[in-house]
Amino acid sequence: MTELVFKGKEFVWNHHLAVPFRPLVVQAEKGIGEARLDGNLIIQGDNLHALKALMPMYAGKVDCIFIDPPYNTGNEGWAYNDNVNAPMIKEWLNSNPIGIEDGLRHDKWCAMMWPRLRLLHELLAEWGSIWITLDDNEAHRAKILLDEIFGEDAFVANMVWQKRYVANVTALHLSDMHDHVLVYAKNPSEFALGKIGRTEAQAADYKNPDNDPRGPWRAQDLSASKQYQAGIFTITGPDGATFDPPPNRYWRMNRAQYDKWLAEGRISFGVTGKGRPMLKRFLTEAQDGLTPVTWWSHDFAGHNKEATLEMKDIFDGASPFDTPKPKRLISRILELIGDDDALVLDSFAGSGTTAHAVLEANKRDGGSRRFILCEMEDYADRLTAERVRRVINGYAFTGTQKTELARERLNWRSIEKAADLVHKVQAIENLHGHEYDRIKKEVKDGELVVTGEKAVSEQAEGLGGTFTYCTLGDPVELDRILTGEDLPTFEALGPVLYHMATAEVADPAVLNAVDFYLGEASAYILWLIYKPDLEWLKSADAALTLSFARGIHELRPDKKHLVFAPARHVSQRMLDSEGLGVEFAPLPFALYRVERG
């Protein structure tokens, strides 16, 4: 496998392991609804630390990851601020904004992405997938990074998304019209994509000019390029005209199959009966959805201008974010994932589009998808979370809400088939007309745009939902606990120990600081004798005793028990001699014990 070499790689190779755990600190007043860590989350803080903070509860649990990292164009001013503790790398790994003149900006970008991708890989479920938007500045490097971390066989596709539909006339050489969406699966054998729903315009391609009782149909070519000797014969039309396969082509069926289709009325010779023979393919026979393709046009998955207009609608005519992604892009990804109970993670949350798309999908189909957003910039509250608040509760808006329903590039072919185009528009009007005050049709920049318009006064309707807003607490450093320098809460320390000891995720709902209970894993029931009180930790109450061991054994004699505590007043030999199935893990050395194992 080809390896990407970049400066600093040896220092960031396992940097994700050295990142300390930092607990999630709930800021209840900034969220909506009950504060809970197993629901929708918005986390403000360095996304490397935020991803590490999610590990104890969400490792192997995320169904879909969508990220829109810095494109590293040289004009973004993003900063590398990871604290990699190596003197040789500290010379150039600093928090200064990285610009076009930085000769090592590509190395720094790779060094920034590597540990984050490592953690994202661990957070993904075995059936999960990651979708990354990038442009030509880093897409080729990102693919090699992903090949190394996920494996070459995990590559699914490089979607090409048409981010703009009008050429940039100020471009130096060529107008940049697309971005890449790299797609990788955690485990290719367990990953599957759904189908893309058939649009109204696509359904409108099926017509019924002969009033066939089987319903609308579309004509399908009877010839194929694949050599098929049985497909060489002459077809005679209703008026006696004869038809042979086109040059270097063959009928796709043999004579017997053709005669069967003819008897069933499935062969069409056009409205006049003098056209070439075609097969009638009925809409009722079409699959529920279409096989997705790697070309995502702007009318299929949205475009940058659309994203800016969405932001202006929500933020009183302002667009407080320079490079938002359109909601339709992420909605298409959710459609392909096909899981209405999916957990979706976005660790470069930006304007919060991912949360908006998840909430809208739930509103549309009654699903229970959840989102986790991570944003390190200072606008995490005033922009990212504020957008989510507004789309949940509704937002002040007076004017016309516009929803693009169709966009069609006009060319000679479409002009020749103007009747078909009109039919498509009529189908859209029939289907959506009741939802809007009017369906607007306009030709602009060589395109026919169909938009649903609805007058809104004072308040746009909210989508409903809840989320919890969190910041990152101080790092949990176990070797400082007994000195009193760092005393995290039981709820912060417990999931860290649980995950490190079992490689499984803790359930925050079952943590019980009164009983010292952490939860049940596949191999152990786990306990933590701990309070964030230095004097108590030095007392006899903080030690594992024989009576405590006997008590937890009586509760579940069928299971082994692992007890974390600062000290013990009973030997492991005595615990074993009584057959209690209790193992002691000393604090603050529990992490080291687990790592050696």
pLDDT at 315 over 80: yes
pLDDT of residue 346: 98
Cis peptide before 213 (omega within 30 of 0): no
State the number of CA atoms in the 13 A half-sphere of 388 facing the CB: 33
Question: Considering 396, 414, 447, which residue would you say is the last residue of a domain?
Answer: 396
pLDDT digits (tens, 9 = 90+) for 385-434: 999 999 999 987 666 777 777 777 777 777 777 787 888 888 888 877 87
Q: Are residues 514 and 537 in the same domain?
A: yes
Question: Considering the domain boundaries, does residue 217 fall inside one?
Answer: yes
Q: Are residues 114 and 215 in the same domain?
A: no
CATH of the domain at 326: 3.40.50.150
Confidence of residue 86 (pLDDT cuts 50, 70, 90): low
Question: Considering the domain boundaries, does residue 353 fall inside one?
Answer: yes
pLDDT at 198 over 90: no
Neighbours of 137 (CB within 10 A): 17
Confidence of residue 372 (pLDDT cuts 50, 70, 90): very high
Contacts with 400 (C-beta within 8 Å, 6 or more apart), sequence order: 453, 454, 455, 456
Contacts with 371 (C-beta within 8 Å, 6 or more apart), sequence order: 40, 41, 343, 344, 345, 346, 354, 355, 358, 359, 467
Question: Considering the domain boundaries, does residue 101 fall inside one?
Answer: yes
Interatomic CA distance for residues 535 and 100, integer angstroms: 55
pLDDT digits (tens, 9 = 90+) for 130-159: 999 999 999 999 999 999 999 999 999 999
Q: Are residues 437 and 426 in the same domain?
A: yes
Q: 421: domain range?
A: 399-457
Q: Are residues 110 and 71 in the same domain?
A: yes
Residue 21, beta-bridge partner list: 476
Q: Are residues 311 and 435 in the same domain?
A: no
pLDDT at 589 over 70: no
pLDDT digits (tens, 9 = 90+) for 427-477: 888 877 877 888 888 887 677 888 888 776 667 789 999 999 999 988 877
pLDDT at 591 over 50: no
Q: Are residues 364 and 260 in the same domain?
A: no
pLDDT mean over 252-261: 93
pLDDT digits (tens, 9 = 90+) for 347-356: 999 999 999 9
Residue that wins the pLDDT comparison between 51 and 286: 51
What is the domain count for the chain? 4
178-185 vs 124-134, strand pairing mode? antiparallel
Question: Considering the domain boundaries, does residue 346 fall inside one?
Answer: yes
3-state secondary structure of 484: coil
Q: Are residues 227 and 300 in the same domain?
A: no
Q: Are residues 489 and 503 in the same domain?
A: yes
Question: Considering the domain boundaries, does residue 466 fall inside one?
Answer: no
Q: From residue 132, how far is each of 17, 64, 120, 127, 324 by CA, in Å?
A: 23, 11, 12, 17, 14
Interatomic CA distance for residues 470 and 128, integer angstroms: 25
Interatomic CA distance for residues 562 and 575, integer angstroms: 12
Confidence of residue 330 (pLDDT cuts 50, 70, 90): very high
Tokens representing residue 524 in the block:
């152990």
Q: Are residues 127 and 16 in the same domain?
A: yes
Out of 187-201, 208-222, 479-493, 501-515, pick the least confident.
Answer: 479-493
Question: Considering 345, 372, 396, which residue would you say is the last residue of a domain?
Answer: 396
Q: Are residues 384 and 246 in the same domain?
A: no
The mean pLDDT value of the chain amounts to 87
Out of 5-9, 50-54, 79-83, pick the least confident.
Answer: 79-83
Counting residues of the chain whose pLDDT is more than 90, the rounded percentage is: 51
Question: Considering the domain boundaries, does residue 171 fall inside one?
Answer: yes
Question: Considering 259, 285, 311, which residue would you say is the last residue of a domain?
Answer: 285
Q: Are residues 176 and 304 in the same domain?
A: yes
Confidence of residue 200 (pLDDT cuts 50, 70, 90): low
Q: Are residues 133 and 43 in the same domain?
A: yes
pLDDT at 194 over 80: yes
pLDDT at 596 over 50: no
Question: Considering the domain boundaries, does residue 89 fall inside one?
Answer: yes
Question: Considering the domain boundaries, does residue 471 fall inside one?
Answer: no
